[in-house]
Amino acid sequence: MQTKNSQIEKLFERYPDLDCLRETLYQVLDELLRLYERDGILYLAGNGGSAADCDHICGELMKGFKSKRPLPECVQENFVSLFGEEGADTAKKLQSGLRAVSLLSHPGLLSAFANDVDPELCFAQQLWALSRPGDLFFAISTGGGAKNILRALMAARVKGVKSILLTGNRHGICEKFADLVIAVPESETYKIQEYHLPVYHALCLAVEEVLFS
């Protein structure tokens, strides 16, 4: 397990009630770091406010969060050699990103599969088609009982994709199908969501700190 990470420790300083998640968050951080060290992809899914959280997490991972993450010098030189001044400007502004895909980002496929097959399996279908063994699935369900998340967790397990569930303390059925469970100590939906944001911010910051420091 990772030694202490400053971003995770700062989370516990700001939110002492989350210290109960210490071991789990370090386990999740380990999984995220292993994922990106092998250039894997993080897939995310959730409903409602949790769907917005999925897009938010992708935004923090696919570009600089607190760090600017400049491209390696050799890559910048390739841009210059191929495209001159415009290449240099492009390379200067591009940032190193970590691969993350929100399963909410394919409305055409979602509506087609929901209409033609089964709306409960929309996330599962995308995960089945896109993921490869060794990738990681980050599921968000405040109550832990979302049927479409449950079906996606089932698909992930058969596909050889490890899963992380971000939820509350209602102990919904999805907990039984996830490999790691981050259950924040709240039961009301909006209070659960208020804890979810600092938790995933801390994880994204921690990953960035390790990989781009």
pLDDT at 7 over 70: yes
Tens digit of pLDDT for each residue in 127-158? Answer: 999 999 999 999 999 999 999 999 999 999 99
Residue 107: its pLDDT value, please?
Answer: 93
b/e per residue, 51-74, with b = 16+ CB within 10 A? Answer: bebbebbbebbbeebeeebbbeee
CA-based radius of gyration for the chain = 18
Which helix (DSSP H) or strand (DSSP E) does residue 82 occupy?
A: helix 73-93
Q: Whole-model pTM? A: 0.96
Give CA separation, 151 vs 19, 39, 55, in Å: 30, 26, 20
For the four alpha carbons of 130, 118, 154 and 174, in that order, the dihedral sign comes to: positive
Share of the chain above pLDDT 90, in %: 98
Nearest to 8 by CA among 42, 19, 17, 32: 19
Q: pLDDT band for position 204 (50/70/90)?
A: very high
